Structure 1
Amino acid sequence: MPQPRAVVVGAGIGGLAAAAALHRRGWAVTVLERARSLEPVGAGIALAPNAQRALDVVGLGDAVRAMSARQDEGGLRTPSGRWLSRTTQQAAAERFGGPVVVAHRPDLVALLASRLPEGALRTGTPAEVTDPGTGERPATVRTADGEELTADLAVAADGLRSATRHTLFPGHPGPRYAGFTAWRFVVPAPERPFAPHETWGRGTLWGTVPLHDGRVYAYATATVPAGGRAPDGERAELLRRFGGWHRPVPELIAAAPDDAVLRNDVYRIAEPLPAHHRGRTALLGDAAHAMAPNLAQGGCQALEDAVVLAHHAAPDAAGTPRALAAYTRDRLPRTTEVVRRSARVARLAGVSAGPLRALRDTALAAVGRFGPGPALRSLDGIADWRPPEPYAAGAHGTSPAGADRG
């Protein structure tokens, strides 16, 4: 039987993970990435236990768990510093089978790329799926310079503005502005210790999380119109919005070079797609189900997509359409629910009206007195996910049998 071929469009976290997982299933893989290198812009990424178990499938779960920073008690605060609820890594581990690991995104990208066979990754190669294929006809992927590649399986991991999604489902409305923008940066940790926290203000949010290498990942959101940019730089914008908040927020902003602060409007796919595939082409990650970041599940769900897709895609090209139908059956209901729950938390965090904000904070404080904080409860049914068989047979904390082949 000839080796089946998969072409992956996009070398983000989901695309690289899909290529690595398919390679381990016996597929020949090619990854096409428009950027000229894999030096990604980005800051931190939270990897809940569900994502770590997905990474076990490609032999990287333990490497990511080793990135876990030692953290004391943290939780949810108000801008003045008052605690609304508290939790610990131990509470997360007891609830979900492991703590949430916050990694530096470039480190995760490098790990995933290391799992690809030599020559599989082609950077500086914009591409899109021009023909999704059928049961009898392979998919076609065309690069910007006119090269056409045929594929037994095409994987569109081409992000929020996916051209392939529009090709597959031209009538779908696509992503909508979620109503807020986000800032992110990484800086050295301040000299004085601090507790990891997320702080909710009036239509604003701030998060501070330590990384394992002694740096800090900081993120913020604010309810503002789309398309805005600060004329005097984004660090100055952060100081205006958050400079009077509790420590270490002001000192972290002061430590950030202006060109290190990333600003991105947040979009989500509010209306679920009719399917996550068509013909021999699968949509994955933000291309299929972009979501608000408030549950920190965007990357985690892309990793789940990758291993579920590979699980169904046996190295039998003739069975690919059936495999993709099973992929949609597994992933569409779950990701639709995660998108919905992320939006619900985003609405709660973005409350601006004074009386409603006071009511929200009072309710959060009351709930926080009884067991794990709201942040953990919001991940029930999400962070406890496990890969499908045979992957689930691998022991927790170890790579599944055969995961290091290839």
Structure 2
Amino acid sequence: MRIAIAGGSMAGLFSAALLRRAGHEVLVFERSRSGLEGRGAGLVAQEEVFVLLRTLGLDEVSRLGVVARERIALERSGAVIQRDPRPQMQVSWDHLYVAVRMLIDDEGYHLGQAVVAAGQDAKAAWLELGDGKHVEADLVIGADGIGSAVRRTMLPGDPGPTYAGYVAWRALVPEQLLPPSAADILSGRFAFFHMPGGQALGYTVAGAQGELEPGERRYNAVWYRRTVDLARTLTDTEGRTHPFSLAPGGVSAQARDALLVAARQLLPAAFADVFAAEPQPFAQAIFDMEAPRMADGRLALIGDAAFVARPHTAMGVAKAAGDAMALALAVERGWTPEARAAFEAERVQAGRAIVGYGRRLGASLA
């Protein structure tokens, strides 16, 4: 089959690698012009990720990560009020992305190609790209995230994502830039701070090139904050309002200053130091979304194009892996009506469960 995939992040990559391995012609179209390396932090790998990596012959990726020797909870003063001594490993998102990306040659992975629409008829499906190109395929897969153009085509009456009432402010800081007082508390630990209407957490992840040595790694911090004026929060340095997030470099100096003042007022000093060390914090609004369908004729949805679960679940990449493996199996079975129905039944149930779990975990933050 000739298969076109909208979106080249984890869900799209996983599907492309599995389908190419099965002998299909696969074309991936990713809107980013420079690639996605360096954008990820760490992830807690679930069983679906391990199975997928074994299938692709990439077992070693699951063994490369930073181990948090314990989980701790802080109070506002910075004192540790709870400890869990069980270690936990965060696999490098970047290392995982690069390892799978290397399975797809450059002729099959097209950067700077935003998908703006999709369609199908009895004979073929197609993607419309931002530069006006028309790409036909036997099957089109929407792995193009929360704002999916493929979903808009396949489910024109679906309301799409629902804002959950809070925003994740993020910092990803080279470990060597942390003040010693912050590093002493946070490095090598999975740390939490709970507050009314908010939560901060952080953990050490691999460096931008996969470095695992102390001092060469990065610290990943997230601060969930209730936010009523979402449009203002997601307005970038040039005055443009974004629907879902602001990438590094998009947050205005005024907004960053306000974030740092609030961090000093509300967070333990160690977490405030992390955000102070981050010159380009970025923001991700938290949404819920559940697609009623994941397959329709020659169109399919996977990953965040179908279900968006809150980050608290730590299951986004696992969900993408599960979707990709189920889709590849349905294609192996000929993408018949029966195969499509089985794929959809399995993954809609899984997606609904994960979204529901995320709502429960984030209930106190909304």
In the superposition, the TM-score normalised over structure 1's length comes to: 0.74
The one of 176, 181, 191 equivalent to 2:167 is 181
Aligned-partner Cα distance in 2 for 1:141–1:176? 26
Q: Which moved more, 1:293-302 or 1:20-29?
A: 293-302
Is 2:187 aligned against 1:169? no
Of the three residues 325, 328, 346, the one matched with 1:310 is: 328
Corresponding residue pairs, total: 329
Give the aligned residue type for 2:166. F
Aligned partner of 1:256 among 262, 271, 278: 278
Q: Which residue type is aligned with residue 319 of structure 2?
A: Q
CA distance in 2, matches of 1:232, 1:87: 38
Q: How does 1:182-261 map to 2 (within 5 A)?
A: 182-189=168-175, 190=178, 191=180, 192-194=183-185, 195-212=189-206, 213=211, 214-225=217-228, 226-229=230-233, 232-244=253-265, 245-257=267-279, 260-261=280-281
Cα gap change, 1:322 to 1:139, in 2 (>3 Å)? farther
- Amino acid corresponding to residue 279 of structure 1 in structure 2: G
Instruction: Give how far 1:131 is off.
Output: 2.0
For the residue of structure 1 that corresponds to 2:362, the secondary structure is helix
Q: Structure 2 length normalisation: TM-score? A: 0.82
* More deviation, 193-202/39-48: 39-48
Say if 1:147 and 1:322 are closer, same or farther in 2 by CA, change over 3 A. Answer: farther
* Structure-2 separation of matches of 1:237 and 1:55: 42
Preserved CA contact (<8 Å) 1:204 1:223: yes
**Aligned match of 1:282:** 300
Quote how far apart the aligned CAs of 1:74 are.
Answer: 1.0
CA contact (8 A) 2:118 2:149 kept: no
**1:1-400 map, 5 Å:** 4-39=1-36, 42-50=39-47, 51-66=49-64, 68-81=65-78, 85-90=82-87, 99-103=88-92, 105-128=93-116, 130-134=118-122, 137-189=123-175, 190=178, 191=180, 192-194=183-185, 195-212=189-206, 213=211, 214-225=217-228, 226-229=230-233, 232-244=253-265, 245-257=267-279, 260-269=280-289, 272-314=290-332, 318-348=334-364, 350=365
CA distance in 2, matches of 1:132, 1:56: 34
RMSD: 2.4
Give, in angstroms, the shift of residue 18 of structure 1.
Answer: 1.0
AA of the residue aligned to 1:181: V
Asked if the contact 1:46/1:102 (under 8 Å) is kept, the reply is yes
Q: Secondary structure at the match of 1:173?
A: coil
- In the alignment, the residues of structure 1 paired with residue 101 and residue 218 of structure 2 have an alpha-carbon distance, to the nearest angstrom, of 23
Relative contact order: is structure 1 or structure 2 higher (C-alpha 8 Å, sep ≥ 6)? 1
Structure 1 gaps, min length 5: 91-98, 352-406
The residue identity in structure 2 corresponding to 1:13 is: M
Paired with 1:12 and 1:342, the residues of 2 have a C-alpha distance of 21
| CA displacement at 1:36 relative to structure 2 | 1.4
Identity percentage over the alignment?
26
Q: Compared with structure 1, are the counterparts of its residues 233 and 264 closer, same or farther at alpha carbon in structure 2 (3 Å cutoff)?
A: farther
The CA distance in 1 between the partners of 2:231 and 2:134, in whole Å, is 35
